[in-house]
Amino acid sequence: MSAAGRRGPAARAGSGAARAEPAAGRRGEVLAILRASQAPLSALDIARQRHVHPNTVRFHLEALAGSGQAGRVQAAPASPGRPPLMFRARPGMDPGGPRNYRLLAGILADGLAGRPDLAGRAADAGRAGGWRLAGASPAEPGTADEDASGRLASILDDLRFAPEQRSADASRQIGLRNSPFPDLIAGQARVICPVHLGLMQGVMSAPGTSETIERLDPFAEPDLCPAHRRPAGAAP
């Protein structure tokens, strides 16, 4: 499956605040000075060190504070008038540092592939994720079935699955045209496809829902994986 699609609220669920960009250039120099200092510094302090205008430093300090890389400190007044605003670097790892979630996902998939009942474990993980995503996605007015189906379609669309409603052999299907994990499917389909199935089952497990996803047929067509729906109480 291709990775085409769009990113929506469900795809961002639990992602937290927007990521800070790495501090580079003059801003990186300002941050390095803050980190090297044991005491808070003002824009004027840093401007004197770097031989630049205080307004230039102040601009970068405000940006660093906005991204969470620096914090504002109100200095105690030492003379009449308003005390200068001081800044210090926030402790901890750089929130704008490098990220490699693809590597992490590959490591986890490889680890799961070596476990007994890998399909069941992968589906369980997907179900837990689907349940969490369904809880973060507001329900539409209607019956429990309509709510769950609407959430499933919305979440799959947000996650770039490009879902489409299908009917074949008197059964209702959801066709998945894409996957958000194309790089992993090539080598770990035995893990990723059960995660897909479990995720859909988790979304459809809301109380009172009478339908579930029975199975997923990976690559029934070169660009399509149909998911089969059935009544929740019916035998598979």
Q: What is the dihedral of CA 146, 148, 151, 155, to 10 degrees?
A: -140
Please give the domain boundaries of the chain with CATH numbers for all domains. 25-89 (1.10.10.10), 115-231 (3.30.1380)
β-partners of residue 178 are 2
Longest dimension (CA), the chain: 84
Q: At what angle do helices 182-203 and 101-113 cross, to 10 degrees?
A: 80
- pLDDT for res 5: 39
Segment holding 213, helix H or strand E: strand 211-216
pTM over 0.85: no
User: What's the mean pLDDT in 56-70?
Assistant: 92
Is it the case that residue 202 has pLDDT exceeding 70?
Answer: yes
Task: Encode pLDDT of 81-99 as tens digits.
Answer: 677 889 999 888 776 677 7
Strand 163-168: give its sheet, edge to edge.
163-168, 171-176, 225-231, 211-216
Please tell me the distance from the alpha carbon of residue 88 to that of residue 71, in angstroms, as a whole number. Answer: 5
Mean pLDDT lowest for which of 143-152, 157-166, 205-214?
A: 143-152
